[in-house]
Structure 1
Amino acid sequence: MVRRVAVIGAGVSGLASVKSCLDEGLEPTCFERSEDIGGLWRYTDSTDSGRVSVYRSIITNTSKEMSCFSDFPCPEDFPSFLPHSLLLEYFRMYAQHFDLLRHIRFKVTLSVRKRPDFTTSGQWDVVTETDGVQESHIFDAVMVCTGHFQEPYLPLASFPGIDTHFKGQYIHSREYRDVEAFRGKRVLVIGIGNTGGDLSVELSRVAAKVFLSVRSSTWVFSRISDHGFPFDMVNTTRFNHFLDWLLPSALTNRIRFWKFNSWFNHKNYGLASTKRWLPFCLLSGTVVLKPKVKAFTESSAVFEDGTEQNIDVVVFATGYIFSFPFLEESVRSLFDDNRSLYKRIFPPQLEKPTLAIIGLVQLTGSVMVGAEMQARWVTGIFAGWNKLPPTSRMMAEVAKKKPQVKRCTMENLKMSFISYTDEIASCAGVKPNVLRLLLTDPRLALAVFFGPCSPYQYRLMGRGKWSGARDAILTQWQRTLKPLRTRPPSPLLGHKGSTNKPHGFGLW
């Protein structure tokens, strides 16, 4: 029987896991290698510690109503998109409200191994070290909450001359903190994911020139949707998700392409693509798009189109790889990416299902919501309320869902926000039943189906039901607009026909 649970990491996944353990009557101990909570979102000026953290100017890509913990809404006066300082403040409020800090031990390094009798007990030996003092612990289960932003991926071998000929500076985006070090320089950013797009725009304000090297095209759109509402609140709805399922993909893709091109014509910017859709990238007209780098000379980059540009600094926005060095090799070898895990959580080959990997997903919405849902299901299994299928069935499902493709770690992590969160919620018995709500609470049912698929929906029914969920759903637009009401509207803007939330529903 599981009682004592080791939670590794005190970022968003770790906090959600500690809280979920407490909800299920388990005894969590969270081990964090740094001196504070927050994980990736705790900004520090220094990069010497090796800990990955956000850069100074970062703002969340998902809105507060779509990113919060499901039973703890963000304060109404917080803006819709949060800088790292406010997000960390929110984490502190959450930890204090649910009394989580007393279960967290800081400045701890550790190793995790199966106990000799693991096949019968499912227990783990955890050896920790703090200030040179080692301790040994026995835990009934382990929740790994270190996420997928662990080790910078720096593909130098793919860029001939970068480490042998190039005399300028090159860094991974993990080392980036602010623009001052790049003032007046010619900067090449490699990669057009979220970070590459954002850094290119930010650097263009102070650099002499910014070049953005792109291997493939992408779709670019804003955090803000029509009429100024957060994009994810308007578009991430069960209604749109249903249309995605109902209509042919060719039709839904055409509608999306039309919508994105209505902002600006991607083809004119050299961004047109029908093969790849990487959201949340922002492009500035002061940034020059270039193709893949062919090679580096002492002072320049040579691109595949034959052009050459003088470069002072190269920023690799090439993502991260994940590893779990604290796990023994026999356990690490059971999975090479999250597709090797049952429901992207459990290594199915383990004799006992007492190891869970939390937050190793990259969703089309907030990973915070997905990680919390994972933690709720996992702790329900540990507590005996939920059950896993036999090993043979888990392995068969993993094999079925893992196509034989070339490994690309970050690409493999991507999943649909609603599809995946609903899948785990169904396993946990907490997925909202819209038809039942339609019979008992029509107003709420319409808000759940046509409105934002916000995390409060997963607290309406089942184990862990929260009495405030209904009100949180029905007031989410008020909380979105509240921080904007900082002065009385002028007569022209405050006319009688003004709206407080978007009208109508559409597929984007």
Structure 2
Amino acid sequence: MDTMQAEQGNNGGTSPRQSSCIVNGPIIVGAGPSGLAVAATLRRHSVPFTILERSDGIADLWTNRTYGRLRLHLPKVFCELPHVRFPPEFPIYPSKREFLRYLHSYTAHFSISPLFGRSVTRARFDEATSLWRVTAVSSADGGEVTEYVSKWLVVASGENAEVVVPRVKGRERFAGEVLHSSEYKSGERFKGKRVLVVGCGNSGMEMCLDLCEHGAIPFMSVRSGVHVLPREMLGSSTFGIAMKLLRWLPVKLVDRFLLLVAKLILGDTEKYGLKRPKLGPLEIKEVTGKSPVLDVGAWSLIKSGNIKVVAEVESLGCNGARFVDGNEMAFDALIFATGYRSNVPSWLQDDGFFTEDGKPKARCPSNWRGPNGLYCVGFSGRGLLGAGADAVRAAADIAGSWQEEMVAAGAGAGAATISPV
């Protein structure tokens, strides 16, 4: 990291040490796939950077908060980060372990060295100096507080920074185990137990499948409609077919095609308690960000009754749950497969570029570039493919600005020698 320590002090006693660092190049918040993609592209532009990451390694979500059987739900060609392809020997749908191997190789290839254990608590634009001031607390060094200062700030902390656990009446009375999907690793320890999974997205479906395969008795609570599509149709990936059709046809027409083929392959999902939303799978993704479920085996177990679909939970009791349809059932464990949310509003002061939900507002000319050297990557709702595209755009924009700064600095004070991070 090419930085200059501007000031350093100690408040005395047990107060954490505080310091300030001027950063040469942009500050990137987050060392997940989005942050790594920005860093790699900046490296290709020979622009230095500093990555602040709150965990102790890259890709914290994939490393520490996903279950063992997880695979990419889309073919690998749609999940590659900029400039480096997956190894040819990897399967079409890489496993969690294979994807992490790819990310670590990607990080090494571009010599990316994030500052780990740095939790960003505040970021604000200083109008007086036209600089971003980013405060981070170290998990080591006695909780040292450092203010990083830069002309550019890249928000790459992602849409999945914090778990979402809904409030359920009576939860404190439930005697069984309660966990979020981020804590679930395998269904092995639930063998023979009745497990209620709250949520019917891709994670909820796949955990029910995993529970079944480990001898548990899973029940899936469905609150609202969900589109279930086969992962592949007509010999190709469903996502790939959709992307090709969207080049020529409007979203509504592509949705009609997908639902027609899905019904031919899967049958009527509503007969088994999975009501389809009024909007089509691609349209609802555009409007709400909610992805359709790409089935990897759970659907056949729902049809056979091995995975039982139940209504929304109304309340919990000591031994189980009561549902909005009046039914009551006993359970040994409860898993919230209720997703994640962005945590950007808790630390970024940006004058309204982000919504209260921590997502960039749709505005012209883009939703990846904000005012005053602010950029966001990984918030497009288009997965790894969208994050990669935004990373390339953001890095190129920063590189142009950074090079202008270097030319101006060289003209004013002689050429400076600057080493990339």
TM range (shorter): 0.7 to 0.9
Determine if contact 2:354/2:360 at 8 Å carries over to the other structure. no
Q: Report the equivalent of 2:9.
A: none
Aligned to 1:344, which of 360, 363, 367? 367
Letter of the structure 2 residue corresponding to residue 17 of structure 1: V
Alignment of 1:71 onto 2:79: no
Alignment of structure 1 residues 122-201 onto 2, 5 Å:
122-129=131-138, 130-132=140-142, 133-156=144-167, 159-163=168-172, 165-201=173-209
Letter of the structure 2 residue corresponding to residue 59 of structure 1: R
Distance in 2, Cα, partners of 1:272 & 1:127: 45
The C-alpha deviation readout for 1:481-507, integer Å capped at 9, x for no partner, is: xxxxxxxxxxxxxxxxxxxxxxxxxxx
Compute the displacement of 1:125 (Å). Answer: 4.5
Aligned to 2:117, which of 107, 128, 131? 107
Task: Tell me the TM-score normalized by structure 2.
Answer: 0.77
Determine if contact 1:168/1:311 at 8 Å carries over to the other structure. yes
Compute the displacement of 1:372 (Å). Answer: 1.8
Alignment of 1:22 onto 2:43: yes
Determine if contact 1:148/1:361 at 8 Å carries over to the other structure. no
Aligned to 2:386, which of 348, 362, 370? 370
Distance in 1, Cα, partners of 2:122 & 2:48: 18
Alignment of structure 1 residues 454-493 onto 2, 5 Å:
none
Aligned to 1:209, which of 196, 200, 217? 217
Compute the displacement of 1:62 (Å). Answer: 1.0
Distance in 1, Cα, partners of 2:376 & 2:101: 26
Distance in 2, Cα, partners of 1:161 & 1:5: 47
Distance in 2, Cα, partners of 1:105 & 1:180: 36
Alignment of 1:244 onto 2:249: yes
Q: Report the equivalent of 2:328.
A: 308
Q: Report the equivalent of 1:444.
A: none
Distance in 2, Cα, partners of 1:56 & 1:340: 35
Compute the displacement of 1:341 (Å). Answer: 5.4
Q: Which structure dedicates a bigger proportion of its chain to helix?
A: 1
Determine if contact 1:293/1:304 at 8 Å carries over to the other structure. yes
Distance in 2, Cα, partners of 1:242 & 1:57: 33
Alignment of 1:233 onto 2:243: no
Alignment of 1:279 onto 2:293: yes
Secondary structure of the 2:49 match is strand
Alignment of 1:360 onto 2:379: yes
Letter of the structure 1 residue corresponding to residue 318 of structure 2: E
Aligned to 1:323, which of 343, 367, 372? 343
Compute the displacement of 1:149 (Å). Answer: 1.2
Determine if contact 1:9/1:39 at 8 Å carries over to the other structure. no
Task: Tell me the TM-score normalized by structure 1.
Answer: 0.64
The C-alpha deviation readout for 1:244-263, integer Å capped at 9, x for no partner, is: 32x8x3x5443222100111
**Cα gap change, 1:137/1:385 in structure 2, threshold over 3 Å: closer, same or farther?**
closer
**Cα gap change, 1:137/1:308 in structure 2, threshold over 3 Å: closer, same or farther?**
closer
Determine if contact 2:246/2:254 at 8 Å carries over to the other structure. no
Letter of the structure 1 residue corresponding to residue 231 of structure 2: R
Compute the displacement of 1:119 (Å). Answer: 5.1
Q: Report the equivalent of 2:314.
A: 294
Distance in 1, Cα, partners of 2:166 & 2:36: 33
Distance in 2, Cα, partners of 1:170 & 1:191: 14
Letter of the structure 1 residue corresponding to residue 237 of structure 2: P
**C-alpha RMSD of the superposition:** 2.6
Q: Report the equivalent of 1:467.
A: none
Q: Mark the runs of 5 or more structure 1 residues left unpaired by the alignment.
A: 44-52, 387-508
The C-alpha deviation readout for 1:304-351, integer Å capped at 9, x for no partner, is: 22222111111111111221377355658953232525433344xx5x
Secondary structure of the 1:42 match is helix
Distance in 2, Cα, partners of 1:138 & 1:123: 6
Letter of the structure 1 residue corresponding to residue 263 of structure 2: N
Alignment of structure 1 residues 443-458 onto 2, 5 Å:
none
Secondary structure of the 1:372 match is helix
Q: Mark the runs of 5 or more structure 2 residues left unpaired by the alignment.
A: 1-22, 282-291, 403-421
The C-alpha deviation readout for 1:160-195, integer Å capped at 9, x for no partner, is: 2222x3222222111111112311111111111111
Distance in 1, Cα, partners of 2:131 & 2:68: 43
Determine if contact 1:12/1:39 at 8 Å carries over to the other structure. no
**Cα gap change, 1:19/1:318 in structure 2, threshold over 3 Å: closer, same or farther?**
same
Count of matched residue pairs: 357
Determine if contact 1:219/1:260 at 8 Å carries over to the other structure. no
Compute the displacement of 1:292 (Å). Answer: 1.2
Letter of the structure 1 residue corresponding to residue 70 of structure 2: I
Letter of the structure 1 residue corresponding to residue 152 of structure 2: A
Distance in 2, Cα, partners of 1:131 & 1:331: 33
Q: Which structure dedicates a bigger proportion of its chain to strand?
A: 2
Distance in 2, Cα, partners of 1:79 & 1:253: 28
Determine if contact 2:368/2:376 at 8 Å carries over to the other structure. yes
**Cα gap change, 1:126/1:215 in structure 2, threshold over 3 Å: closer, same or farther?**
closer
Q: Report the equivalent of 1:458.
A: none
The C-alpha deviation readout for 1:99-139, integer Å capped at 9, x for no partner, is: 223xx2222234444364x3552333444534234444321
Secondary structure of the 2:247 match is helix
Secondary structure of the 1:60 match is coil
Secondary structure of the 2:159 match is coil
Determine if contact 1:187/1:207 at 8 Å carries over to the other structure. no
Secondary structure of the 2:334 match is strand
**Cα gap change, 1:252/1:19 in structure 2, threshold over 3 Å: closer, same or farther?**
closer
Secondary structure of the 1:4 match is coil
